């Protein structure tokens, strides 16, 4: 229903129009009148009318001035003018200013009703478009965290291929207040005991807690973004709000070192909070320098590789600025010999890696006096980079748990030949996994989601939770899953849960209520309804039927 006000200094006209509109059947809940523009303006400030039907020529304040003041108060109000033939130029001016329509006096009731009906239709269309626009904006805002997270995850393996201008455009598009010309730093958090599955809500709360902690410590001086990097890793990227230098002077000033000290001092506290709240152990790897954007992917690989290879849980790891820790006391073997090996890993060039590794191992074999610490240092540098490569390219599944243990322990290798074969095999398997993902990333996504469902069947597996775990938009995941499996994702989850329920009822003798609870159903009656729809029998009937068969 709408509100309309009739404005004219002739009382008989406003009263007649008001009575007519009250009986017209038009959707007006309020039909009010005013004898002057000033009175109309005062009433409009109090009520905010949807329509104003006003005369143009009135004393002291005419209809045009009223129209301009009404638009300043509420632009959504539709104003229709009544004018005589001598006022036609006024009406033309009103239309140019945005008036909805005008009617020439004397006017028939039918003309007024038709004009208002048309104005109502236009207003409803405008409001419908506005609602649609607001809904679209809400959907975009709701999907923004997914888009931002996916953008940062993609940067982990494609940053060097993006020109600075395109990077800045993408940052602006996603409302990320970073600048490609300014250096960044950051840290990663890794869940050490991944065998404890984190629920969707716990995952979101964990990121929320990290976000609040960083905002409290650095919010006044730094921009930052947290995002799930996959495989139990949350990455945080940080950039100072203050520009480093004037344009063209490069990185002339060092950022304040207090950022690193502040973060490092609070990470142990975060570990304790995470342990109490989520019953998981986490480790951190923290950069202690500011780096150009193009080095972020490599730095992330160093962080995640180092943290994954650390012995023990609950670590806080700060890598050195140099890629290796080999002492110069080892004659004939220097840090420079590692560079071709590390570069080959970055380029995913397995033959170059094997050749560089052969040269390094040959030199080590000929050199005397190399300590176990030195050997361990270069071994962990290479292993860590391979692990980092797998993590940043979503190929962590290529490294099995038993292989991860061998990558962190030099003593598990009997000789240099065996060590060489192992490292080459690890890089080859990681590169193969990356290649498979690049050839058909969508099929791989569906396969990973199916595997997650099968291994977490006893959880409440909503579409939103699965999309968050896969780092994609829920609607996109639902669509591609249906395309590849010809089955709705929710139907797939339900089918697997009902198959497992049937097995538990048939083989374990569990109570129906216990089966429902174990499979994530809060309401046993709803579980029974879903089970009957899937099998044609109630849970009790199913159990009795299969008991009789046995």
235 dihedral zone (left: phi>0; alpha: psi -120 to 50; beta): beta
User: How many CB atoms are located within 10 Å of the residue 165 CB?
Assistant: 9
Give residue 103's Cα distance to chain centre: 53
Q: Residue 242's pLDDT is what?
A: 83
Beta strand pairing status for 282-286 and 316-317? parallel
Which pairing describes strands 233-240 and 316-317: parallel, antiparallel, or unpaired?
A: unpaired
Contact 188, 229 (CB under 8 A): yes
What's the order of all strands across the beta sheet hosting 78-83?
28-34, 2-7, 51-55, 78-83, 101-104
The dihedral over CA atoms of 301, 304, 306, 307, expressed in degrees to the nearest 10, equals 180
Return d(Cα 56, Cα 208) in angstroms, integer: 58
Residue 224, strand partner residues: 238
**Tokens 């012995």 belong to which residue?**
311
Fold (CATH) for 177-244+255-317 = Alpha-Beta Plaits (3.30.70)
Find out if CATH 3.40.50.2300 is the number for domain 2-128: yes
Tens digits of pLDDT across the chain (550 residues): 899 999 998 888 888 999 999 888 899 999 999 999 999 999 998 888 999 998 888 888 888 888 888 888 877 788 888 877 566 677 677 777 778 888 887 888 899 999 999 999 988 888 888 887 777 677 667 777 777 887 887 777 655 556 778 888 889 888 899 998 889 999 988 877 654 444 544 666 778 888 888 888 888 889 999 888 776 788 899 998 887 654 443 443 445 567 788 888 888 888 888 888 777 788 898 888 888 887 887 788 778 777 777 655 677 878 765 444 444 444 455 556 778 888 898 888 999 999 999 988 888 887 766 777 777 777 877 888 888 888 777 777 888 888 888 887 888 888 889 999 999 999 999 999 888 776 677 777 888 888 888 878 888 888 888 887 777 788 889 988 998 889 999 999 999 999 989 888 887 777 888 888 888 888 889 999 999 998 889 998 888 887 766 5
Q: What is the model's pTM?
A: 0.54
Per-residue pLDDT at 307: 77
d(CA 495, CA 508): 19
Identify the pLDDT of residue 202.
Answer: 60
CATH superfamily of 442-549: Homeodomain-like (1.10.10.60)
Cα–Cα distance between 314 and 345 in angstroms, integer? Answer: 28
User: What is the rounded distance in angstroms from the CA atom of residue 289 to the CA atom of residue 192?
Assistant: 25
Tokens read off for 135: 């809904």
- Kindly compute the dihedral angle of the four CA atoms of residues 16, 19, 24, 27, in this order, to the nearest 10 degrees: 120
SS3 category, 319: coil
Q: 324 to each of 169, 365, 376, 379, 385, how far by Cα in Å?
A: 36, 19, 10, 9, 11
Q: Which two tokens stand for residue 411?
A: 């003593």
Token reading at 502? 């049937």
Q: What residue segments make up the domains of the chain, in order of their start?
A: 2-128, 177-244+255-317, 335-435, 442-549
Write the DSSP string, 480-540.
HHHHHHSS-HHHHHHHHHHHHHHHIIIII---HHHHHHHTT-S-HHHHHHHHHHHHSS-HH
The answer to whether 425 touches 383, Cβ cutoff 8 Å, is no
């Amino acid at each position: 229903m709408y509100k309309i006000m009739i404005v004219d200094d002739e009382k008989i006209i406003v009263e007649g129009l008001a009575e007519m509109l009250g009986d017209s059947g038009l959707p007006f809940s309020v039909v009010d009148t005013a004898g002057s523009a000033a009175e109309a303006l005062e009433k409009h400030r109090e009520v905010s009318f949807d329509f104003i039907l006003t005369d143009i020529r009135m004393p002291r304040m005419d209809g045009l001035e009223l129209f301009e003041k009404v638009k300043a108060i509420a632009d959504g109000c539709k104003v229709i003018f009544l004018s005589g033939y001598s006022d036609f130029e006024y009406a033309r001016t009103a239309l140019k200013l945005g008036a909805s329509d005008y009617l020439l006096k004397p006017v028939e009731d039918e003309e007024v009703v038709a004009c208002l009906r048309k104005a109502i239709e236009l207003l409803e269309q405008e409001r419908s478009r506005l609602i649609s626009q607001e809904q679209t904006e809400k959907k975009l805002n709701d999907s923004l965290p997914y888009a931002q997270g996916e953008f940062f995850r993609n940067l982990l393996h494609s940053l060097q291929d993006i020109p600075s201008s395109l990077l800045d455009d993408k940052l602006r598009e996603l409302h990320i207040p970073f600048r490609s010309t300014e250096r960044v730093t950051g840290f990663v958090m890794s869940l050490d005991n991944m065998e404890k599955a984190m629920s969707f809500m716990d995952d979101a709360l964990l990121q929320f807690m990290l976000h609040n902690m960083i905002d409290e410590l650095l919010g006044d001086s730094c921009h930052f973004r947290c995002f799930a990097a996959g495989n139990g890793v949350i990455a945080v990227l940080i950039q100072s709000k203050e520009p480093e230098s004037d344009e063209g002077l490069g990185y002339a000033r060092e950022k304040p070192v207090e950022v690193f000290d502040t973060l490092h001092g609070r990470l142990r506290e975060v570990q304790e909070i995470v342990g109490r709240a989520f019953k998981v152990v986490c480790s951190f790897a923290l950069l202690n320098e500011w780096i150009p954007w193009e080095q972020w992917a490599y730095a992330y690989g160093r962080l995640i590789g180092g943290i994954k290879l650390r012995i023990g849980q609950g670590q806080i790891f700060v890598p050195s600025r140099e890629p290796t820790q080999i002492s110069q006391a080892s004659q004939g073997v220097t840090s420079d010999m590692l560079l071709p090996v590390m570069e080959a890993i970055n380029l995913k060039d397995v033959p170059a890696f094997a050749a560089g590794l052969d040269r390094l191992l040959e030199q080590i074999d000929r050199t005397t006096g190399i300590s176990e610490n030195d050997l361990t240092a270069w071994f962990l540098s290479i292993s860590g980079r391979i692990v980092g490569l797998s993590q940043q390219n979503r190929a962590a599944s290529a490294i099995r748990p038993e292989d991860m243990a061998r990558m962190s322990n030099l003593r598990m290798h009997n000789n240099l030949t065996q060590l060489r074969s192992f490292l080459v095999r690890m890089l080859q398997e990681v590169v193969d996994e990356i290649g498979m993902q690049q050839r058909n990333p969508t099929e791989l996504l569906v396969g990973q989601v199916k595997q997650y469902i099968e291994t977490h069947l006893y959880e409440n597996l909503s579409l939103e939770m699965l999309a968050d775990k896969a780092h994609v938009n829920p609607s996109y995941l639902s669509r591609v899953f249906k395309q590849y499996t010809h089955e709705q994702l929710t139907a797939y989850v339900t089918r697997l849960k009902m198959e497992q329920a049937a097995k538990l009822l048939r083989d374990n003798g569990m109570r129906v209520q216990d089966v429902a609870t174990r499979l994530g159903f809060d309401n046993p009656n709803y579980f029974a309804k879903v089970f009957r729809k899937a099998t044609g029998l109630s849970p009790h009937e199913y159990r009795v039927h299969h008991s009789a068969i046995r």
